Every structure is written in C-alpha cells, then in structure tokens.
Amino acid sequence: MSSQRLHPITIVFTAIKTIKDAIIPIIAMFFASFQRIASTYIYLGVAIFLILLITFSILSWYRFSYRVENEELRIEYGIFIRNKRYISKNRIQSIDLTAGVVHRLFRLVQVQIETAGGGTDAEASLKAVKRVDGERLREALKITEIQVPVQAGESINPSRHVMLKNLFIAGSTSGSVGVILALFAFSFAKIEQFIPDRIFESTIEWLIGLSILFLFGLSLVILLFLWLLGIAGTIIKYGNFTIKKNNDELFITRGLLEKKQITIPLKRIQAVGIEENLIRQPLGYVSIFAEIAGGSMEKGEDFSTILFPIMKASEVDEFLQQFLPAYRAESNKVAPLPKRAAKFYLLRVSSLFIFGVIGMAYFLPSFVWVAVVLLALSLLLGFLRYRDGGYRLEGKCLTIRYRGISRRTVSMYQKRIQSLEKKQHKIQKIQKLATMKLSIIGTGGSGRHYALEHMDNEQANRLAGWYSFRNEKPKDKK
C-alpha cells in the first residue's frame, strides 16, 4: 500500500483544535490588552496569529502520511522534526470509525486505532479519511479470528437496536440535570472574571429585587429546560444505537450528529456490569456496561463502555445469552451482608449530617429542618447501600453488588482479576467483618477498582482462598 495523506479538511480540524486549546489564554490576553494597546496593533496581532495558524495547519496536513506495509501501520508526521510510528498488526486491539457532522457531509470518517496499554489516548488517530479507505484500513489491520462453533440455542451474529421511546426514557431518567448544572457552574466560574463589575453587580441587584414566587417559577423553568436538554443530549449521543456480534467481536454503532463505530474484541472484556440508578430501578430499567482493557478514554467519554444504554431488567438474561453467554448468571441471588454491618453503612454517610443538625439547632434553629431532612436522606442512602451489598460465586466467575448512588452488579472471571486485597481495621476485627478490594485492568490501561465493605470475615477468607486457587469449587452457605 502506497503512502496516503489525510483529506484536506484535516487542515480545518487542526486549526479549530489549536484555537480551542488556546481559547482561554486568547480571551484573557485580549481583554487585558484591549484598553492599553491601540486597535491597529490588536488587528495586526490577530492577522499574524491567523497567518501562523493557517501555515501550521497546512504544513501539519502535508507532512502527515500513512501506509500499511509488512503487516504494520506506518505513520510519518512532523513539520521540523520527522517522526515515524510503526504499529504492528498483532498489537492492535480495535479500530474504531467515527463520523461527525462535517465528516458525514464529505463522506469521511475518523479512524482511531487502539493497542494494549495504549494509555488514555488512542495509539493513532487519522482525523479524516474517505469512508471506503477507513473500512479498507480496518480490514487490512484486522487479525483473522478463529471460527468458534455455535452452540445449540445460541444466535448466529445477533444484533439489537435501541428504540427511540426507550432513548427518551433513558434521557428522562439519566439524572443529567445535575451534570449540566455542574458544567454550567464551572463554565460560569471561568467567564465570570471577564464580565464587567458594573454589569455583574446590577444583575445581582435585579435578581434580589424579584419576588420569591417569580424566582421559584424561574427556577422550575430552568430545571425543565435542563431536563429537556438532558433528554436531547441522550438521544443525540445514543441515537441509532445498534450492537452486533460477529464471531469474537462486538460492533457498536451510535450517534445522530457524530456517528461512532466501536469494535470490542471479546478477549478485551474484563468485566460486565448492570447499572440501576435511583430513578430507573423502581421503573425496572437498567443499562449494561463493560470494562475494557486498554483502549483510549477521550474527554467526555464514559469510564466504562456502554453495551446497551437502557433495557428492561427482565431482558438482561436474554441479552447476555445472545452477546455474552459466559457472563449469564444461573441465579440472580447474592450472599447478603451480615446484619452487624448495617451500623457501619448508616454511620458513614450520616455522620457529617448529624453534626450539621447539631450546628443548625444551635446557630440557626429556624432552619434546622433542612439539616434533619438531609440527615434522613443520608440514612436512607446508607440503608440502601447495606441492603444492596453482596456477592455471588459461580465456578470461576465472581459477581459483586454494591451501591454508590446507583446500584451496580459487576461480574468478572478469576483470571481477569489483577489483585484481591482483604482489609480490616480494629473495629472490623472485633465485629468479625472485613473489606474486600478487587482490581482489574480498565480503560486507558489503568486500574479499575471495586470494593465490598463490611462483609463477613469468613466470607472474605473464602473469597481470598478462591482467588489464590486453594478452593476450586467453593459453595456458599445456604
């Protein structure tokens, strides 16, 4: 294969990325110098910056080339210093194709190549190539898999699609309002320093002068807008979501504006989990995710790979049977935590609020009810964490269930666990309790950790024995 260049639209992408990375310093310098430097010099500086930016973007595109030779992807790049990167076909874990709005207008894709231990970024990224060239490159670098005989009852190349109404439910119950509010607060903190003091102070005075009823209504309108924005974001991100299985790989396609095609070799899957947040759990909806070894973790992406954004809890067994039969459990029951562990869960989440109630009762007694409500909610969360905690052993597969805010049930095989650590503090020893911490390889090659706290000490010892191969077939007490 002869050397090829990226599509010329890459010049625009490079320029936009450069401006995006430097936007905060540019704005700060502009406002800092606006009143001290004549406008002629400002325009001259902007013109010089644009000329340098365009020159840099064109040279970066011209000096970037790639080719496949001797079962290697060979990339050469660099304007002044020539860099050469060779990626062996055997090291490649997956090749993902992504098409944003601009890509789709020109029938292009971005090719991301991931290798084992590639770090938080992709090993190589081709920003814009023709779709046919991207698909041809993926086929050229794909390792031929051994055909696995299909077992009786197992679907051949199954696929599943998310319906639009389910995406609406996913967006409505995702709890993304809090995330959007946090992003808004972060953005406001960044730009607040550029708002003139006179405008900022007059706006605050105007808000203070409004009636309580109007502010309450305005807050409801803002929350409704953010809720609708969260729904729209979910639909845009997971629109046309399809998962397919072909031999030893899963193929995921998703996105309305930015179309992503993700390839997941089954051998890279370290764990498979089910997540239920506080809103979805009573409605009987869950999402399925997987922890993938290696690969990249781009900004804005999830720490775990979503295998299916939303489905009924009753459909999970059928989904796992189709796509990941090795992770399908014979029973959904888990060994619960002992009753003596409950007090630890309750105290851990409520201790801060107990002091809050005492402080509010002393300093602001008229608002003590706020601290009492927060204390009650923290006690409820502590009880849910205790009630949902547990584990299950089935041969060489370990399943743990725990709760932060959402409840997660994660299954992993013995050979995928990198370490298993038993921890005890003095009070736990007296109560015959222990905490088990498990680690696997996660996204970006970094460690992914799980902990089941305050479990029975005997159960912890049996898990440690199971992991160290001393007990081949442990059986839980009924």
CA-to-CA separations, 233 to 167, 186, 451, in angstroms, rounded: 10, 19, 32
* Residue 37 shares a structural domain with residue 94: yes
Burial classification of residue 329, based on how many CB atoms lie within 10 Å of its CB (0-12 exposed, 13-18 middle, 19 or more buried): middle
* Residue 107 shares a structural domain with residue 86: yes
Q: Above pLDDT 70, what percent of the chain?
A: 78
* Residue 325 shares a structural domain with residue 393: yes
* Residue 172 shares a structural domain with residue 130: no
* Residue 36 shares a structural domain with residue 67: yes
Residue 296 lies in a domain: yes
User: Which of 140-149, 247-256, 261-270, 352-361 is predicted with the least confidence, judged by mean pLDDT?
Assistant: 140-149
CB 166 within 8 A of CB 283: no
Residue 455 lies in a domain: yes
Residue 473 lies in a domain: no
* Residue 421 shares a structural domain with residue 276: yes
The pLDDT tens digits of the residues spanning 132-165 come to 999 888 888 875 544 444 444 455 689 999 998 9
Residue 152 lies in a domain: no
> Which pTM value belongs to this model?
0.75
Residue at which a domain ends, from 238, 270, 295: 238
The pLDDT tens digits of the residues spanning 50-91 come to 899 999 999 999 999 999 988 889 999 998 888 999 988 888
Both structure tokens of 219: 């807050």
pLDDT, residue 147, reads 45
* Residue 107 shares a structural domain with residue 180: no
Residue 352: domain span? 339-387
Structural domains in the chain (count) = 4
* Residue 286 shares a structural domain with residue 344: no
The pLDDT tens digits of the residues spanning 362-379 come to 888 888 888 899 999 999
Residue 151 lies in a domain: no
pLDDT, residue 104, reads 87
Average pLDDT of the residues of the chain: 82
Cα separation, 98 vs 104, whole angstroms: 10
Q: What is the DSSP string of 415-468?
A: GG--EEEEE--HHHHHHTEEEEEEEEE-BTT-EEEEEEEEEEHHHHHHHHHHHT
pLDDT, residue 182, reads 56
